[in-house]
């Protein structure tokens, strides 16, 4: 009888053991960092990759397009984490970054990735504005300017696809704390030697690579 009870206990314990042994889905672990960025992956990863990037930067767009799938494979193993820190280059970048960051960690990467994928389209809308319209934008207060840029470029519609309602978008675009955070990210990056985008750090040390093959080699060299 004791053997029967033991066998039954082992059968009941099997699903629990299996569940406990299931690997962590690190590509679903996303968090805001104290430095102001957003990190995907194991916070205790051996290799911590940080990118200072601009959503209006074509080289950053190329990196995102080329790196996302292979970088996700590194992240999935738990040995590499990836943090993105906005490094603002212009007023359009401010509006795009505020939209991407609006709903926090949960939607940052999907929104930022769509902004990169559609970058030529929404930047094109701004570039095609008349000189008169651009002058009118420049005359606006910072907060209202971000709203008008986001509307003119179609950024509000992109944000809405990722859960940012128009009302929420306007609140984020006019939020002084959000703008201040972007300034702080720029200043902290500049203090660490960042003077252009994209710029990458591995475990706190700036690397020279700017393309995915170069960054991938640096990740492997660091043990990723």
The answer to whether the peptide bond before residue 198 is cis (omega within 30 degrees of 0) is yes
Residue 169 forms part of a structural domain: yes
Q: Could you give the number of structural domains in the chain? A: 1
Residue 202 forms part of a structural domain: yes
Q: Which domain holds residue 107?
A: 25-221
CA 59 to CA 24: how far, in whole Å?
Answer: 32
Supply the pTM of this predicted model. 0.88
Beta bridge partners of 165: none
Q: Which are the contacts of 139, defined by CB distance < 8 A and separation ≥ 6?
A: none
Residue 110 forms part of a structural domain: yes
149-192: pLDDT as tens digits: 999 999 999 999 999 999 999 999 999 999 999 999 999 999 99
CA 73 to CA 41: how far, in whole Å?
Answer: 11
Residue 173 forms part of a structural domain: yes
Residue 8 forms part of a structural domain: no
Tell me if 105 sits within 8 A of 163, measured CB to CB. Answer: no
Residue 188 forms part of a structural domain: yes
Q: Residue 32 maps to which CATH number?
A: 3.40.30.10
59-118: pLDDT as tens digits: 999 999 999 999 999 999 999 999 999 999 999 999 999 999 999 999 999 999 999 999
CA 64 to CA 62: how far, in whole Å?
Answer: 5
């Amino acid at each position: 009888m004791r053997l029967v009870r033991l066998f039954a206990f082992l059968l009941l314990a099997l699903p629990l053991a299996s569940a406990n042994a299931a690997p962590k889905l690190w590509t679903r672990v996303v968090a805001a960092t104290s430095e102001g960025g957003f990190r995907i992956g194991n916070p205790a990863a051996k290799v911590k990759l940080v990118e200072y990037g601009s959503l209006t930067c074509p080289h950053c767009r190329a990196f995102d397009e080329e790196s996302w799938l292979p970088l996700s494979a590194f992240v999935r193993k738990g040995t590499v984490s990836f943090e993105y820190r906005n490094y603002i280059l212009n007023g359009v970048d401010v509006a795009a970054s505020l939209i991407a960051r609006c709903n926090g960690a949960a939607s940052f990467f999907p929104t930022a990735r769509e902004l990169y994928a559609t970058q030529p389209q929404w930047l094109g809308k701004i570039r095609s504005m008349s000189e008169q319209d651009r002058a009118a934008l420049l005359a606006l207060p910072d907060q209202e300017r971000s709203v008008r840029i986001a509307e003119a470029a179609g950024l509000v519609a992109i944000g809405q696809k990722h859960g940012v309602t128009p009302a929420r978008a306007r609140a984020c675009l006019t939020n002084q704390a959000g703008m201040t955070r972007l300034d702080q990210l720029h200043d902290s990056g500049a203090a660490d030697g960042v003077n252009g985008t994209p710029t990458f750090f591995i475990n706190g040390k700036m690397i020279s690579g700017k393309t995915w093959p170069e960054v991938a080699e640096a990740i492997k060299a660091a043990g990723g």
